[in-house]
Chain A
């Protein structure tokens, strides 16, 4: 699949924002001592708000006819994209209520904080899940059509969120909470494990072949002619191919920037290096998302001569 830059930015940024607000609100409402400070909460809230809103705005950039984007709320019953849009909008009153309440009443856990905070955390996770299901529900792309896809999206969203939360808490409050620190280390390890399982899983060949695509299942089939003299929509959208050696290098780079380097920076527990770890993870996840697209092979490629997907 052709990786659309606006979609990469959208999924990574909003994933980190949703992860951050979820962990922060839960920590605050469940009484984690280091998260009872209103300036930490407001800073974290604003960071997540900017990431989510920036991501959502970027996602509309890949629409070819954005003037009809408002209609995307209308097929909630069947379309994961529609569900994502509905929950993303529903999230806003909750997060704004939650942050306004902190602005006015401080970090005190009152009924409004509980309602809006738990609501925002829940809707953040539901939206992230819907985003992942847009990809996971496509039977045409074997590398996406798996329950590993939502697991990846949620684990990596929480992971980047936890790094941001630790960085925000350490730089605003001055000293690092060991709970948040350990949580970030744990989630980085979890994220790496989940990603490695995914990379291992997509390595196994399975699914449709050029034979099932053309219906000639008892003989070999080779493409002679695609039937056009220059590339069309299908070639540009689905024909993206990555050379094997470049792929391996990018995978190593991705694991290094998104997981290994942040892990070692976390061991140092200095506020500056924590912020660096969070930024590195987000850059690493952009590479991860790019690979998520570049490695996905749509079955239309079979009609264009690939023997299997």
Chain B
């Protein structure tokens, strides 16, 4: 059916230079358009079994007994495994191993895996999973995050104290804000295929953002040596943070080793909603104090995020939420108290924006309130406080030494042309759409601005690096990496970087498994263009220099090595010379925070701004986001079209959080784990987007590039909220903003 999983995923672009700065088309575009691209869910192999998961129907319960008997009695069922069958470490976790591979004595969230099943076909596997009898004693779930805080059920607390505790401002605004639980909802659900190697080891092809982290967790839980497990990159239908953590990976390897057969699993949509982590819901209390001129004098914030039952990346998300709690603004006196609590709600972890989204919604609402209290233009207030290179980050005191064009972002966004007022009666231009519910006279237009900042790459002292290899083969130059392409276009951009550095147009990018190359780190934190891109640039440059030195050449291209206008070594000869270079790229080191949350915690930052223009039917509470304009600090756009794709996609996820996307959790139970009930923006919800890329040299990424994936999602939510506030006059302290929040509060 598809590429057999034993081959490497290959993307091949032949021809012209297609180097950096060009909008080269994706090498994997054609197979994706023709339906032949092999996603994890498309893989299959001879003699394959299918897996299914038995999940807890309770958010908190003690397991009294698990009886696999009725399931094993079904024809075609090959295995039912429980916690007792985990050969090694029972617990896994990206930052702290605290989550059982399979629950042994207690279940701590609704949908927690309790047992796994392998059977001849997916239907039988599902029937068998339903037949496994688990006896529970139901316990009270802890679902109130504030109560968890009081009971000190916490993953991490952060206390930031900066500046003078006695300095106060004369103009004060306070607010309490809330952000609901968003889901990444990547279109491809979790899927994987584990193949035993016949020697006690296993090869895994599964949806992921980070094969090396999966690998080390699999090895620990299977109690195998590192060499015995190979985790392979495979085709992935989106990620957005949902695939940083292990979910089906260890399960599939266990079943494959137990049954000695390949085992495949594809989560159905509802299982996907319970099988991966979500964006942390947050409650944020703020106090901003300014002087009469609108200079921020003091900011205080209480940040509470609900991590759910297990740690996942809550510690790092809380870090981001606290460190970016003030936004891209200067302020010398800052107190932040942050807590990530442990509850029996669904586990939360990484999602695009990673803590910066939640606080941006709050700090931008505060800036607008402060502007109103000062009777000042909200953009002027932001200009006066704009954070720039050379300034200290308001929270951690870190001196910013990479380009940070906050002021340029604000000014260029404001200068972008505004759309005409719309008096069209066309239902497609009205908030009620073709439902024909809206009358034009009930429509108010609102315009809102928001600005956000976030770190790029891993922070707080982590040794963040990526390894890549460049080699010259008879088929052309080859880039090898374990970095994961989730759709964002890494495969395109690292090819461009290699082409530009080598001078060779024929470059192929290969995603290879954990046994064949060192880690590239996670495809997250907007880091791969900078980190893996940096490694590819360094490797390709070193390789080219070595070749040119060896042959006293002037330059290299697809024909070979040239000197004085003559080809001195033809490419074919070069290609048989075993030329290769493997490089590990590290970003500038960062520190752990001191006891006051101070220090050089981050390697780089990006800033972006959004202007949302909305039409609101104030009677019915319906909103149409007409347009979003954005200016984004990108360092250098290595592939402008691909950057635009990240911007447009990220903005729509931000619009989704502003208006419709929320997992409704009641008593620990997710009430809407389907695409029917968890609403995602369709093309009819998508605003027109105009994007301005702000390029400035000086960042440490390849050619000065900065990561671009997350900033579009950070302030777009806040901008939409600000625009709806402007149209309605309502406070709207929570997202998503639903029709009832607008209509029933009776704005304007």
Are A and B a genuine interacting pair, yes or no?
no
Q: Which B residues fall within an 8 A CB radius of A?
A: none
